[in-house]
Amino acid sequence: MDATVNPAVRQGQGIFSRYRRVDTITKLTVIAATVIALIYILLPIFWMLKSSFQTAAEIKQLPPKWIPDQIRLDSYQDINLLIPIWRYIFNSIYVSAAAALLATLIGTSAAYVLSRFRFPGMTLILVTILVTQLIPPITRVFPLYALIQDAGLLNTYTGLILSYAGFSLPFSILLLKGYFESSCPPEIEEAALVDGCSYISTFLRIILPISLPGLAAVTIFTFLNAWNDFLWASLLLNSSEMKTIQVGIGDLTAEGGGTRYVSMFMAACVLATVPALIMFIFVQRWLVSGLTSGSVK
């Protein structure tokens, strides 16, 4: 039997098994590194959650207590004494949702014509939008602040909503443009146009309905962008009841309120995270495909 086996194959098997052993070591290293990375990723989230269920005294105990004695929800009830949290969360939801809808509405119509038609000045418009995407936010904050002030929009939600929509527009347009180019077959609308549909009704009746997944992704993306913002909201709003949740938490951190009322503070952090979490679960499924078709190209 031995004589019939090609020596080259036997040699190949040898190499194969040697690599197998190396591969096992590689795999174990990767697993170990992943476990360490996961601890790094999850520890703060665990710490926030468990602290929100403890009393302030228990959190400050030394050495630190990893598991709460009992799950207490007191801090979630008392948090209103610290900051008007529900009001802040409502403010954030209102501003973020309005900005998201506005940006999606404006972004979709622009992305549609930029992906389907050729018209004079089109390249220039695309470049303008791209450049805006690349400007670091800090380089436009100061004049924009003055501009908003001159327009009388300081301390109004309108100013905040308009800015958030504007900040997210470039990325939304690029993402949607990619989406229209890769996921919406042009044949459908060509047929509609031949049948005598006007441009606008083709867009409203045919394109919008079939691109709902892409629109939803962009809406949620803009929502999260606005929800997460701190710098701009802290500059534009100074009346205390208009603050967004991020500004509320940022101010508490700066004032050291985080140390004195730490359990309530952690509860506030949890509450500031939950709406984003819900959005995230909702969007997770087609986020990868959205990114692939949109911006990696």
By C-beta, is 173 or 192 nearer to another protein?
173
- Token representation of residue 247: 């500004």
Told to check if 8 binds another protein by CB under 8 A, we report: no
Told to check if 57 binds another protein by CB under 8 A, we report: no
DSSP string, 11-66: HHHHHHHHHHHHHHHHHHHHHHHHHHHHHHHHHHHHHHHHHHTS-HHHHH-SSPPS
Told to check if 176 binds another protein by CB under 8 A, we report: no
Least Å distance between CB 108 and another protein? 9
- Token representation of residue 223: 């929502």
Told to check if 134 binds another protein by CB under 8 A, we report: yes
Told to check if 149 binds another protein by CB under 8 A, we report: no
Largest alpha-carbon pair distance within the chain?
Answer: 92
Least Å distance between CB 153 and another protein? 12
Cα 216 to Cα 29, 180, 210, 270, distances in angstroms:
39, 13, 12, 25
Binding part of the chain for another protein, among 70-78, 80-88, 182-190, 196-204 by CB under 8 A, reads 196-204
d(CA 6, CA 9): 5
Q: Rounding to the nearest 10 degrees, give the CA dihedral for residues 50, 242, 257, 63.
A: 10
Told to check if 140 binds another protein by CB under 8 A, we report: yes
How many binding residues for another protein (CB under 8 A)?
100
Cα 266 to Cα 62, 75, 182, distances in angstroms:
18, 8, 43
8 A C-beta contact, residue 167 and residue 159: no
By C-beta, is 3 or 118 nearer to another protein?
118
By C-beta, is 73 or 130 nearer to another protein?
130
By C-beta, is 173 or 215 nearer to another protein?
173
By C-beta, is 19 or 90 nearer to another protein?
19
| Touching another protein, residues 79-108 (CB under 8 A) | 106-107
d(CA 267, CA 221): 25
| Touching another protein, residues 234-273 (CB under 8 A) | 235, 246, 249-250, 252-254, 258-259, 262, 265-266, 269, 272-273
Told to check if 180 binds another protein by CB under 8 A, we report: no
Q: State which of residues 143, 185, 196, 209 lies at the interface with another protein (CB under 8 A).
A: 143
Site string for another protein, 150-169 (x = CB under 8 A): ------------xx-xxx-x
By C-beta, is 15 or 212 nearer to another protein?
15
Instruction: Give every CB contact of residue 221 below 8 A, 6+ residues apart in sequence.
Output: 168, 171, 172, 175, 283
8 A C-beta contact, residue 72 and residue 55: yes
Told to check if 117 binds another protein by CB under 8 A, we report: yes
Neighbours of 53 (CB within 10 A): 22
| Touching another protein, residues 202-241 (CB under 8 A) | 203, 224, 227-228, 230-231, 235
